[in-house]
Chain A
């Protein structure tokens, strides 16, 4: 079997709207500090888990205009703000670019679930005549990419990929394929999620996925720690501007890093539990390494999926050790921002890009006592300086959907 010619894909712009802040600079500062953002959430009062990681001070009306504020779900608001930052950061301008050559690929798992929940309540309370017709253009999961096309005059291939907690990573990998196939010249690729609703949270709590550390939310998200007890739900969006490296060089764009490899797989095992040996995760990581043409020894840093659930962290740690060895410096940025579900992979890929770019690996928040079953070099307490040639970002979703990307220095 022959492999197709490799296409290097450059990351030329970043946009981040997460619990760590609005904007890339605010994000990197908070992520590097290793301080958790989890806090009590007024919308969850009375539930078994009543805290989360929200984007601080996000005012859709002020950022996007009041007309957009009520007509779009928050999942689209977050995506648009992140995309605008990423496009500007890349030195591109939708007013002048050839929109037909600009694609959009967004990872999202729940779409406009808050709008759906609100209208469901209206149906119960006021009857069908009071349902908003806008529900059909606010809630469906595809709409985030559709609104990005409108806002950014991005008229090329337009997709939402929905692979649960791996969606953001799947989006970046899919975008890489679109560029390699020549279907477009620029892709706004990333993820967006806003599903900290009472229904979603009650269900996640009942399935035992969430940390129940109600008396101390700021210490609840503790990936790889011996006392971890589940993840903390977060919201946010991350967007990357991807171009073929040759194109980026031709226009003398600033290149943060390259997305050099992508691998994906399915466990085919269980709806919510990872394969006990991490079989699917291993295949996704090995495929990403092969796609990038790098050896396990080249990977200096792993931004782990690291949810802080009992099962994920120990299974993932075994896979990392088995595939890469014990040399990479591992971190889980979910300690700071919680689990952004369908946006997680995109935001974490952006952090991986920034780690390579800045030569600094952010610490894992709340890691005070490493689980003895996790035999890895996990970065704790302070950011660690490192010259990185290659790094890996992992994402594993419900449904057994796995994705990994390799980021390399340009």
Chain B
């Protein structure tokens, strides 16, 4: 879970230019000024980095970063 969070935060900071200080588990994408187009772009990065598909509902603007980390973690874990 911590590794997933670190990787997701790295994508948000390195690819999308969001300062690391703004990245906290209780922050929403809306707080970070990421709109629906940016979130589709993020879903591509997540798919490439973690090998999992997150859909639009799981990556909507009001989602908190911590929730998305949990979704990725659950999908990435072998069944």
A residues with a Cβ closer than 8 A to B are 61, 65-71, 129-130, 132-134, 137
Bound form: Cα–Cα A69–B38 in Å: 13
Bound form: Cα–Cα A134–B33 in Å: 15
Residues A70 and B37 in contact, CB atoms below 8 Å apart: no
Classify the secondary structure of B's interface with A.
helix
A residues near B37, Cβ cutoff 8 Å? 133-134, 137
Residues B40 and A67 in contact, CB atoms below 8 Å apart: no
Residues A71 and B38 in contact, CB atoms below 8 Å apart: yes
Bound form: Cα–Cα A355–B40 in Å: 49
Q: How far is the CB of A130 from chain B (nearest CB, A)?
A: 5
Number of contacts between A and B (CB, 8 Å)?
Answer: 30
Bound form: Cα–Cα A246–B13 in Å: 49
B70 interface residue, CB < 8 Å from A?
A: no
A-B contact pairs, 8 of them (CB 8 A): A65-B17, A66-B17, A66-B18, A70-B17, A132-B40, A133-B37, A134-B41, A137-B37
- Would you give the 0/1 interface string for B10-45, flagging 1 where the beta carbon is closer than 8 Å to chain A? 000001111000000000000001000110110010
Q: A67-B18, A70-B15 are in contact. Are A133 and B41 (CB under 8 A)?
A: yes
Q: How far is the CB of B51 from chain A (nearest CB, A)?
A: 13
Bound form: Cα–Cα A65–B18 in Å: 9
> Nearest 7 A-B pairs (CB), nearest first?
A66-B17, A67-B17, A133-B40, A133-B37, A132-B41, A130-B44, A134-B37
B15, B41, B47 pick with most chain A CB within 10 angstroms: B41
The residue in chain B whose Cβ has the minimal distance to the Cβ of A67 is B17
Classify the secondary structure of A's interface with B.
helix
Q: How far is the CB of A80 from chain B (nearest CB, A)?
A: 15
Residues B44 and A67 in contact, CB atoms below 8 Å apart: no
A residues near B47, Cβ cutoff 8 Å? 129-130
B residues near A70, Cβ cutoff 8 Å? 15-17
Bound form: Cα–Cα A66–B21 in Å: 14
The residue in chain A whose Cβ has the minimal distance to the Cβ of B34 is A67
The residue in chain B whose Cβ has the minimal distance to the Cβ of A136 is B37
B residues near A133, Cβ cutoff 8 Å? 37, 40-41
The residue in chain A whose Cβ has the minimal distance to the Cβ of B18 is A67
B17, B38, B41 pick with most chain A CB within 10 angstroms: B17
Q: How far is the CB of A87 from chain B (nearest CB, A)?
A: 24
Bound form: Cα–Cα A70–B41 in Å: 11
Contacting residue for A132 out of B16, B17, B44, B48, CB 8 A: B44
B residues near A68, Cβ cutoff 8 Å? 17
Bound form: Cα–Cα A337–B16 in Å: 32
Bound form: Cα–Cα A67–B18 in Å: 7
B residues near A69, Cβ cutoff 8 Å? 17
A residues near B16, Cβ cutoff 8 Å? 66-67, 70
A residues near B38, Cβ cutoff 8 Å? 71, 134
Q: How far is the CB of A269 from chain B (nearest CB, A)?
A: 43
Q: How far is the CB of A143 from chain B (nearest CB, A)?
A: 13
Bound form: Cα–Cα A71–B17 in Å: 10
The residue in chain B whose Cβ has the minimal distance to the Cβ of A60 is B17
A residues near B33, Cβ cutoff 8 Å? 67
Residues B41 and A61 in contact, CB atoms below 8 Å apart: no
Bound form: Cα–Cα A238–B28 in Å: 39
Q: How far is the CB of B21 from chain A (nearest CB, A)?
A: 13
The residue in chain A whose Cβ has the minimal distance to the Cβ of B44 is A130
A residues near B40, Cβ cutoff 8 Å? 132-133
Q: How far is the CB of A362 from chain B (nearest CB, A)?
A: 38
B residues near A71, Cβ cutoff 8 Å? 38
Q: How far is the CB of A25 from chain B (nearest CB, A)?
A: 29
B residues near A132, Cβ cutoff 8 Å? 40-41, 44
Contacting residue for A61 out of B17, B44, B48, CB 8 A: B17
